[in-house]
Structure 1
Amino acid sequence: MPTHLVITTLQAAGLSATSNVLAQYITAHREKKPFAIHVRPLLQFVLFTFLSCPPNILWQDFLEDKFPGYTSVGGERMLHKPNTARKFLFDQTLGAFVNTLAFVAAMAAFKGKGWRGVQREVERDLVPLMINSWKLWPLVALINFTFVPVNQRVIVASVVGLFWGIYLSLFAALD
């Protein structure tokens, strides 16, 4: 595995763990209970990050290879708007769908649900979670595709994902 995949995955896992612990703290505070770290959901969240981060890095590399974001015109580097639009469209549709489906299915499976239980949770949660994700991630994707080098996009998304992860942790805790 290339070094940037390992480093970025470890960074993303650390941010994921942080977001889950913060979500647990928020939940304890809301419920007026003493704060204690629940290891199982923490490990589930981190495991999901270890599984999902490398494919997301490869996805970003694929999008950039297929649709280069910048061209050189007369020695000047210029944003290639049609390619950026294509990357954005693929990322916010196919990429978002696959990531959201994987998250919902993995969290259900981690909770010990069988195939039918996973299917029910996907049917119940996929569309609402996708809609909520489109309130944040299109802006992040646009910034990433226009200003951030491809090898740093997943970590930038992971930093934003620290806050999204709090939301997802709270979402995953619902049953």
Structure 2
Amino acid sequence: MALSPIVVASLQAAVISAISNILAQGLAARKSSIGKAPLEIDWVPVFQFVLFAFISTPPNFLWQDFLESSFPAYHVSPTSEAIISASAGNERDLDDEATQGRLVEPKLNKRNTLIKTLLDQTVGTAVNTLLFSVFIHSAQAAMAHRAGAGFGHPAQSLGFLLSGNAVRYAAVRSDLVWRRATAEFFDLVKASWTFWPIISIVNFTMLKSVEARNLTGSLAGLGWGVYMSSIAAQ
């Protein structure tokens, strides 16, 4: 049985999130004093980013579907040949063009594309930024009790995740999480505006399916995920 588009998109995003976090750890290790040592993955932040991908991808998929259904990228318009034939009153040519499927063609709706881009880069960006910050700070607080926090403890970090006591919900202070999330909100939004608008424009003007747009967004998110991983590690 084929997987649903949302499940496929979530799996793609999870894999890309894991790769981006591992790349971020590699870059951080290279810059540190242990840069010459083999990279040892800390699986805790990898797990956190993968889990966030599974949580955030479905609503983002539905958001993109809502934008497309509310503001379709393309509208049907007469072809130039049909316009010429109609202007000349040439019914024979119109009949031929209709038979050959050249009477109308899809054309990009610039107004809808602008609306979708603005909504995606304001409402969408605001919600995604807050969701990321709240989740990451909550996850870090819930897992802050582990020993050997940081890079260079792959066995310990994997053992910690499998211990059955990796997450302590009582350790999460919602007021502190919210304070940290709102404190970094505008800086993260401004950073996203240097990168994501061009991705949105490409998505809305060149890709017709929501599935293709989510895949493109996930691939573009590989680089963005490295940046966000470095922010989360601070």
Same fold (TM over 0.5): yes
Per the TM alignment, residue 123 of structure 1 is displaced from its structure 2 partner at its CA by 2.1
Give the residue type in structure 2 aligned to 1:21.
Answer: I
Identity among equivalent positions (%) equals 42
Structure 2 residue 222 is matched with structure 1 residue 162? yes
Structure 2 residue 200 is matched with structure 1 residue 141? yes
Structure 2 residue 117 is matched with structure 1 residue 88? yes
Alignment TM-score, normalising by the size of structure 2: 0.72
Poorly superposed stretches of 4+, deviation over 3 Å: none
Q: Tell me the SS of whatever aligns to 1:51.
A: helix
Q: Which residue of 1 aligns with 2:8?
A: 7
* Structure 1, unpaired ranges of 5+: none
Q: Which residue of 1 aligns with 2:32?
A: 31
- Equivalent position to 1:129, from 188, 192, 206: 188
Q: Tell me the SS of whatever aligns to 1:77.
A: strand
Q: Superposition pairs for residues 50-129 of structure 1, below 5 Å? A: 50-74=54-78, 75-112=104-141, 113-129=172-188
Q: CA RMSD in A?
A: 1.3
Per the TM alignment, residue 66 of structure 1 is displaced from its structure 2 partner at its CA by 0.3
Q: Which residue of 1 aligns with 2:211?
A: 151
* Structure 2, unpaired ranges of 5+: 79-103, 142-171
> Which digits, 9 at most, give the CA deviation of each residue in 1:3-48, with x for residues without a partner?
1111111011101100000001111111132321101100000000
Structure 2 residue 76 is matched with structure 1 residue 47? no
**Higher Cα radius of gyration:** 2
Q: How many pairs align?
A: 174
Q: In structure 1, how many angstroms separate the alpha carbons of the residues matched to 2:207 and 2:48?
A: 29
